[in-house]
């Protein structure tokens, strides 16, 4: 079963690769961990 992940910045669904890696990034740890999609990740890196 595939868990659907949503970007915490824009709310869009974060895609995963066939290896199960997300097309985006995690920020933080545990309960405070946030997920950002690849597009929002680019914004973070600017
Ligand atoms: Zn996003």
Instruction: Return per-residue pLDDT of the chain as tens, 46 residues.
Output: 666 889 999 999 999 998 988 899 999 999 999 999 999 999 987 7
Token pair in block for residue 1: 């079963």
The whole-chain average pLDDT of the chain stands at 89
Distance CA(13)–CA(1), nearest Å, equals 16
Number of independent structural domains in the chain:
1
Q: Is 37 exposed, middle or buried (0-12, 13-18, 19+ CB in 10 A)?
A: buried
Which residues have beta carbons under 5 A from ligand 1 (an ion)?
7, 9-10, 37, 40
Could you tell me the residue range of the domain that residue 10 belongs to?
5-44
What's the pLDDT tens digit per position in 17-27? 989 888 999 99
Burial status of residue 24 (CB atoms within 10 A of its CB: 0-12, 13-18, 19 or more): buried
Residue 40 CA to ligand 1 centre (angstroms): 4
The runs of H, that is alpha helices, within 1-46 are: 38-44
């Amino acid at each position: 079963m595939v868990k659907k992940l949503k970007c915490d910045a824009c709310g869009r669904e974060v895609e995963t690769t066939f290896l199960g890696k997300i097309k985006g990034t995690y920020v933080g740890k545990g309960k405070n961990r946030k997920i950002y999609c690849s597009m929002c990740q680019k914004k973070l890196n600017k």
